[in-house]
Structure 1
């Protein structure tokens, strides 16, 4: 069981954490509005994988 002072302390700490999260989300939302919107439903072409060499390749050093 916690006394009154500890309960108030916990409530203040929780309120501070909530304020920080709200401010962080507000900042992220404001930053997101400046970026161009991306359509998440749009079809995107995936590039083919890079061609890999088959066999041995001689490397000449000068």
Structure 2
């Protein structure tokens, strides 16, 4: 997260430009994360420990 600290007063157009740029960046990041989530939905990359099948010793 970052904070803008203006040294001069900002006009409405500058504020609007900054807000639109920030919103576009956040939307792109959200779309990227949702695309990543859809690709891996329901599928795990690794099986959790304890759920792997193990061979029983033969007597």
Q: TM above 0.5, one fold? A: yes
Q: Distance in 2 between matches of 1:39 and 1:7?
A: 48
Q: Distance in 2 between matches of 1:33 and 1:4?
A: 42
What stretches of structure 1 move > 3 A for 4+ residues in a row?
none
1:27 aligns with 2:35: yes
Q: Distance in 1 between matches of 2:31 and 2:17?
A: 21
Query: Which structure has the larger Rg over C-alpha atoms?
Result: 1
Q: Distance in 2 between matches of 1:15 and 1:5?
A: 15
The normalised TM-score by structure 1 is: 0.57
Aligned to 2:18: 10
Q: Secondary structure at the match of 1:39?
A: coil
Structure 1: 5+ residue stretches without partners: 44-62
Structure 2: 5+ residue stretches without partners: 1-8, 51-59
Give the drift of 1:32. 0.7
Q: What is the RMSD computed on CA atoms of the aligned residues?
A: 1.7
